[in-house]
Amino acid sequence: MGKTTPSLVPRVARLLDGVGAHLKLARLRRKYSAETVAQRAGITRRTLSKVEQGDPAVALGVYARVMQVLRLEDDLALLAKDDELGRKLQDAGITAKLRAPKRLAAAKNETALDQAEGRG
């Protein structure tokens, strides 16, 4: 039995298809054969074909290796570059649960020990 991959929402699937198409276009512009790119990326031609089709079952690391072969690895920094929703939530005052600094907690523990031992 093969692995099952959760389906993507159509918008995300189209974006991934676009990434694959861009990688294929980059390969063709450089006049690299599929065999050459696959060999340099350490993958099979079939896996490269899946990458160029935007297959979501292919690991991100494989996409990164293909991008490296095509000298597009700096574009990885553009993934999740600007977390606009996260900034809006942060600006709205929604914060994570805050914890007391460790030194205050340690001081309270020492005080409690002193009181328990009759020193305080």
- Please state the pTM of the whole predicted model: 0.68
b/e per residue, 23-55, with b = 16+ CB within 10 A? bbebbeeeeeebeebbeebebeeebbbbbbebb
Mean pLDDT of the chain: 86
- Say if domain 10-78 classifies as CATH 1.10.260.40: yes
pLDDT range class, residue 17, cuts 50, 70, 90: very high
**Among 56, 59, 37, 57, which residue's Cα sits nearest to residue 48?**
37
pLDDT in tens, 87-96: 888 888 765 6
pLDDT interval class at 50 (50, 70, 90): very high
Q: What 3 state SS string does the chain have?
A: CCCCCCCCCHHHHHHHHHHHHHHHHHHHHCCCCHHHHHHHHCCCHHHHHHHHCCCCCCCHHHHHHHHHHCCCHHHHHHCCCCCHHHHHHHHCCCCCCCCCCHHHHHHHHHHHHHHHCCCC
Query: What pLDDT does residue 54 have?
Result: 96
For range 59-86, the mean pLDDT:
92
